[in-house]
Structure 1
Amino acid sequence: MQWFGKGSNNVEDGRGGGGRVALGGGVGIIIVILGLIFGQDLTGLVSQMPAVEQSEVKNGVPAGDEQAQFVSGVLESTEQVWAAEFSKMGLTYEQPKLRLFTTAVQSACGNANAAVGPFYCPGDQKIYIDLSFYDELKTRFNAAGDFAQAYVIAHEVGHHVQNLLGTAAKMEKARRGLTQTEYNRLSVKLELQADFFAGLWANRAQYLKNFRLEAGDIEEALNAANSIGDDQLQKQSGGEVVPDSFTHGSSAQRMYWFKKGFETGDIRQGDTFNSN
C-alpha cells in the first residue's frame, strides 16, 4: 500500500528511555499462550504488573521515522473512512489516539508489557503498540508486508468502533452472567467483527485520494489473519487445539470475516454475533 497524506494528528510518541517493568519480556507472551492452552483468558494478569516508569510523551512522530510515519498514515486513513461511515449512520466519529511505546506502558486499562502485543483500551480510547511487534509478526508469525502491519492497526481501530457503537459495553455486561466457555465464544465474535471492520476499512480506503492498494496487499492481510488464529497459536505453542478456549477465532474464521468486510464494504454485513 501507499499513503500520500500528512499523517494523523492523534499519534502520541512515548518511546525512549524510562519504560520498564518488573516482568521480563517473555512473560507476557507466556501468559497469553497459557491462556490459550488451558482455556482461560489470563490477559487480565497484565494489569497486575508493577507500575511503569513513564517516558515523555510527544505529539506526532519524527519525520525520519518511516515505520512510525507509516502507522500515522494508516491511522489517518482509518479516521477518514470511519468518519464517512459514521456520517452515513447519522453519527459523529470520535477519533482514537494511538500511543507508541517501548517495552511497557501504563494505560487506563492497567499496566501492560509489550509482549502482549498491540491492544485497544476503551477506558482512554487509545490504541497502544510497541513497533517491535512488527518484527515478531514477520519472524515468529511469518506475516511480512506493510499491509499486514496496516491490518493490525485497522483491527484495533475496529475495537474502537465497537466501543463507540456500544458493543464493548454490552460485552462487559453480558460477561457477568456467562461461564468462561460461553464468554470465550462471545469474545470470538467480538474479535471477528473487528476483523470484519478491518476489511471494511481496506475496502473504503482504496477510494481515498491519498491511498493506493498494491498487488498482494490483501493477501498480506489474510496471511496475517491466518497466522494469528487461535488454532495456529495453540499448535505453535505445542499444545492441543481446544476450540472452547478460543478468544479470537480460528485462522479460517479470521480470514473469512476480513475478506467479507473487504468484499462487501457494508457495515450491515458485519453482524458476527448473530452468525454461526
Structure 2
Amino acid sequence: MKLRGIRGSRNIEDRRRQSRGGGAKIGGLGVLVILAVGYFAGIDVSGLLQGLDAPAQNAPQQVSAEQEKAAQFSAQVLATTETVWGKEFPAQLGRTYEPPKMVLFSGQTASPCGGASGATGPFYCPADEKAYLHTEFFETLSRSLGAGGDFAAAYVIAHEVAHHVQQELGILGEVNKRRQTASETQANALTVRLELQADCLSGVWARNVDGLLEPGDIEEALNAARKIGDDHLQRRAGRVPQPHTFTHGTSAQRSRWFARGYNGGEMRDCDTFSAQKL
C-alpha cells in the first residue's frame, strides 16, 4: 500500500507508554467482546479473563522501533478511512461521517467493553466509539496466522472502522437488540452477518483508496480474510468446524464479501441481512 506522504490521523489515543493497567471489572458484554476478538485471532483468552482484576503495574512501557512503525502505519491507514468514508457518506447516503478514535496500546488497557491485551486482538467498542489495537498484533497476524503483507494489516484496521460505520448507521444497536432475545445459535448467525457486512464495507474502502493500491494488495486482504474464517480457525485448533458456533463466517464467505464490496464499491452491496445466501 502506497502510504508515503499520507498524513497520519489525529484521531489516535496513544496509551503505549502508559503503565500496564490492572484489568477492569467487566460485564457480560465485555466478556463476549473479549471472547469474540480472541477467537478472531485464534488465541485462548481464558488466562486474560481470569486476570482482569490483577493489580496495576506502575512501570512505564518501552516502545520499540517496530511498534513505532506499526503506530505510524495505523495512523496513516486510519486517515485513509476518514478520507474515504468522509466522501462516501455524503455521496452514497447524503449524510456526514463522524470518524472514530483508535486506541493504540501495549500490555493491557481498559475499555467500556472490558479489558484488552495482546491476546484479545483488535476490536471496536461501540460504548465509546473507539477501535482498540495492540501494536504487536500485526506480527501475530503475519507470523501466527499466515496473513502477511501491509494490506492485510490495513484490511484489519478497515474492518474495525467498518464496525464504526455500522454504529453510525444504527446497525450495531439494532443487531445487539435482536441478539438479546435470540437463542445462542440465532445470535451467532446475526453476528456472522454483522461481521461479513464489515468485511464488505472494508472492500468498499479498498475500492475507494484512490491510487494507493499496489500489485498484490487485494490478494493480501483476501488471504487475511480466509485465514481468519471460523472454519479455518477451528481446523487450525484441531477441531471439526461447527457452523452453529461460527461468529465471523467461513473463509469463503469472508473473502467473498470483501471482494463484493471491492468490486462494486457501493455500500448498498453490503446488505448481508437481506441476503438469502452468504
TM-score normalised over the length of structure 2: 0.84
1:247 corresponds in structure 2 to 247
The number of residues matched between the two structures is 256
- Separation in structure 1 between the aligned mates of residue 55 and residue 205 of structure 2, nearest angstrom: 33
2:73 is matched by which residue type in structure 1?
Answer: F
Distance 1:267 1:47, change over 3 A: farther
Residue of structure 1 equivalent to 2:8: 7
Q: TM-score, normalised by structure 1?
A: 0.85
SS at match of 1:106: strand
Cα offsets for 1:194-243 (capped at 9, x unmatched) = 000110000011x2xxx521110000000100000000110111112100
Q: Say yes or no: does 1:231 pair with 2:220.
A: no
C-alpha RMSD over aligned residues: 2.9
- Structure 1 pair 33–218 and aligned structure 2 pair: CA distance change class (3 A): closer
Bigger RCO of structures 1 and 2 (CA < 8 A, at least 6 apart): 1
Q: Which amino acid aligns with 1:71?
A: S
User: Which contiguous aligned blocks of 4+ residues in structure 1 show a shift greater than 2 angstroms?
Assistant: 20-23, 30-36, 45-49, 51-57
Structure-2 residue corresponding to 1:166: 170
Return the offset for 1:52.
7.3
1:126 and 2:130 aligned: yes
User: Structure 1 unaligned runs (5+)?
Assistant: 37-41
| Inter-partner Cα distance in structure 2 for 1:34 and 1:147 | 21
* TM-aligned CA distance change 1:109 to 1:33, over 3 Å: closer
Q: CA deviation at 1:6?
A: 1.6
Query: Residues 49-75 of structure 1: CA distance to partner in whole angstroms, max 9, x if unpaired?
Result: 227749899xxxx9x932211111100
Residue 27 (structure 2) aligns with = none
Q: 1:239 to 1:20 in 2, by over 3 A?
A: farther
1:31-110 equivalence runs, <5 A:
46=49, 49-50=52-53, 53=56, 65-88=68-91, 89-110=93-114
Q: Unpaired segments of 5 or more residues in structure 2?
A: 25-31
Q: Report the secondary structure of 2:273's partner residue.
A: helix
Q: Which residue of 1 aligns with 2:220?
A: 220
User: Partner amino acid for 2:10?
Assistant: N
Structure 1 contact 20–104 (Cα < 8 Å) conserved: yes
Alignment correspondent of 2:20: 19
The percent of aligned pairs where both chains have the same amino acid is 45
| Alignment match, 1:39 | none
CA distance in 2, matches of 1:271, 1:54: 45
